Structure 1
Amino acid sequence: MTQATPRTERQRLQPRLAAACIAALLAALATTAASEAGTLDSIRETGQLKIGFRDDAAPFSFVRDGQPAGYSVALCRAVGGALQQRLELETLDIAFTAVTVEDRFDALKQGRIDLLCGATTVTLQRREEVDFSLLTFITGASVLYRQGGPSSFTALEGEKVGVRSGTTTDEGLRRALSEAGIGAEVVAIASHEAGRDALESGEIAAYFADRAILIMLAREAAEPADLVLSQRFFSYEPYALALRRDDGDFRMEVDRALVKTYRTPTITEIYEANFGKARMSELLRAMYTLQSLPD
């Protein structure tokens, strides 16, 4: 049997190598084209808007009667309705996917969801990962404690305090305690409801979260009269809907839908449906006015 020379072997392999290179190139081009097509083109083709929501951030995002509900979810539904009209679709399926504090941004970047609806604070660090819509809410971190419990920041010395892990409040609380030299033990808690339960049972002396969330937690406590909600804000928390970076066309339509909602009584209806009789702050009213950009 004649042994192939190195040149003959190269000649024999060249067609296979060329075919493999062409296949790899075509796959790369297909991936790039899909990426450049953008979210709006995907929605046109599939007739579906993929929304990620947290089920543990009432009153912004939670589950009621087996369905996604809350202030942010209602805004996302309004975005879906506006997209259906703008894209002239007969129907638009809104597909909800539950996400967590830990995986919500990965779900966006990996394309598992198109829009994140929850209690998501806009920060410069997060804007390195994802993009954000116009602001949807303004609140700030505050504290819930039991009657007779620590009513000042310095009174937390030697106490256990709870906070939802993975949130901006978690980061801010640890930093503030350290800077103030207060020796409180910070307990990372898996959900806001678990934090309230730990507070009521005496496992922790105080629970920190965004004040709008604390209002709902206190209202639904076993003994609401036993809990006190501080009037102080310890941080500034501007919320928005998160979406993938470098998709300006999609962000434009999301912002257009929010502006339309802010200009009408619909926003008051959404607020009252989720916050009840809790008075809308002047800061939030101003946000709606400032975000209602002219056409």
Structure 2
Amino acid sequence: MVEFASDQGDTMYWKTRQASCELPVLSKCAAMLALTLALTFTSGHGATQTTEIDTSKICTTDEKNPRIRLGVREDAPPFSYEVTNRRLDQGSDPYSGYTVELCIGFVRSAQNKSGLDDYCFVEVDPSSRLHALGGGYIDLLCGATTASVDIRAEYRTSLMTYLAVSGLSYMRKGPVADRSLGDQQMVRLGVREDTTSQTDLTSETLPGPLVAFLDSSGLKDYGALKRVDLADHWEAPKMLRDGAIDIYLADRPIIEAVLAGGSEDIQVYNLPIALQPYSVIIAGRPFGRDERAGVELQRNFDRFLIEEKFAPDKVDAYFDHLRELLQGNIEPFFLEIARVQGVFP
């Protein structure tokens, strides 16, 4: 078992005594994670939580200019990202991605009964997104948000829009078949601050599959892990190449998208740490209206997903488009879940 060893400022350290998930039973551990769908720990030590929103990127809706406000991310490809800075595509909107596309599609669909047929963007980050949702700054959160038990308790969520697997990527120190990280006394584990991946590592014990992975890497005496919080997913490849971190933990599609365009020197391992169901999160009082509007918005968004994406006569085309968007990184579990969601009454 890996235990919490010490806390020095914003840095987390662990020490190991015995793996809690041995390799022969790793599949059983992964199965348990699949049943729970998401690892939810109480956030304790870690990066400072902020709720500030960049007011220069706030869009408004009023009687003269009624719009649905979409909360989007700058750095969560392929789900939600800023196009102008990263040049990942040439879309006309400044933000793009799978979840953003779903939200825009809903606004333009017949299932949108809000009376608002235009949209605008509000850029949020992992620390401000829920504040923006609860504070009336946005109507739909269109990012890469895990619909955890805590999120569902506080906010309305759509049907599952994706099922992500938290995985590992790390700098290759030798041949592809060599999974050893070398003779290091300290392993530096990078995560995006204020995300579920960071929360998973803010507990007194590490996830069992991560422990098993480290043990299988030949690091029997690695002594301790140091958590390194990154402000941006885009920083990870450079930090790996510069030797500032040894491992980067994130959802696999995000890792693949960040590495797009050149990753010969970085090996991605798809070791399951947690299965995380994504959803579009819906404001309780959207459009400045009452709670009934939130109920209706949730129902109408789900109806859009069922009728336009998951319906039996449309789901295959939806899967083809999703594979293109996510570069083939689709969990088989989600494909089956989507088909089931498509026959909801």
1:167 correspondence with 2:195 = yes
Q: Distance in 2 between matches of 1:125 and 1:155?
A: 40
Give TM-score, length-normalised by structure 2: 0.65
**How has the CA–CA distance of structure 1 residues 161 and 85 changed in structure 2, closer, same or farther, with 3 Å as cutoff?**
closer
2:265 to 200, 216, 226: 226
Pick from 331, 334, 341 the counterpart of residue 281 of structure 1.
Answer: 331
Distance 1:86 1:56, change over 3 A: closer
Q: Which residue of the other structure, out of 136, 143, 149, is the alignment partner of 1:124? A: 149
Match of 1:20 in 2: none
Do the aligned partners of 1:161 and 1:184 also contact (CA within 8 Å) in 2?
yes
The match for 2:159 is 134
Counterparts of 1:199-238 in structure 2, within 5 Å, are 199-221=240-262, 224-238=263-277
User: What is the CA deviation profile of residues 19-55 of structure 1, one whole-angstrom value per residue up to 9, with x for unaligned ones?
Assistant: xxxxxxxxxxxxxxxxxxxxxxx99996411110011
8 Å CA contact retained: 1:108, 1:115: yes
Q: Which amino acid aligns with 2:234?
A: E
Q: Partner of 2:82 in structure 1?
A: 63
Partner AA of 1:54 in structure 2: R
**Aligned equivalent of 2:106:** 79
Matches within 5 A, 1:1-295: 47-65=66-84, 67-82=94-109, 86-87=112-113, 92-148=117-173, 151=179, 158-175=186-203, 176-177=205-206, 183-221=224-262, 224-245=263-284, 246=291, 247-260=294-307, 261-263=309-311, 264=314, 265-276=316-327, 278=328, 280-295=330-345
Displacement of 1:220 in angstroms is 3.4
Residues 131, 219 of structure 1: alpha-carbon distance in 2 compared, 3 angstrom cutoff: same
SS at match of 1:280: coil
Q: Deviations over 1:48-80 (max 9, x none)?
A: 111100111000000224611001111111111
Shift in Å at residue 159 of structure 1? 1.2
Instruction: Measure, in 2, the Cα distance between the counterparts of 1:155 and 1:167.
Output: 30
State the secondary structure of the residue aligned to 2:122: strand
Q: How many residues align?
A: 249
Please name the residue that 1:37 is paired with.
Answer: none
The CA deviation at 1:199 is 1.0
1:257–1:279 Cα change, 3 Å: same
- State the match for 2:87 in structure 1: none
Q: Which consecutive unaligned segments of at least 5 residues does structure 2 have?
A: 1-60, 85-92, 212-221, 285-290
Give the drift of 1:280. Answer: 3.1
Q: Higher helix share goes to which structure?
A: 1
Q: What fraction of aligned residue pairs are identical, expressed as a percent?
A: 25
Question: Are the aligned partners of 2:80 and 2:144 in contact in 1 as well (CA < 8 Å)?
Answer: yes
Say what the alpha-carbon RMSD is for the aligned residues. Answer: 2.9
Indicate conservation of the 8 Å contact 1:154/1:182, yes or no: no
> Which consecutive residues of structure 1, in runs of 5 or more, have no partner in the other structure?
1-41
- 1:9 matched to which residue of 2? none
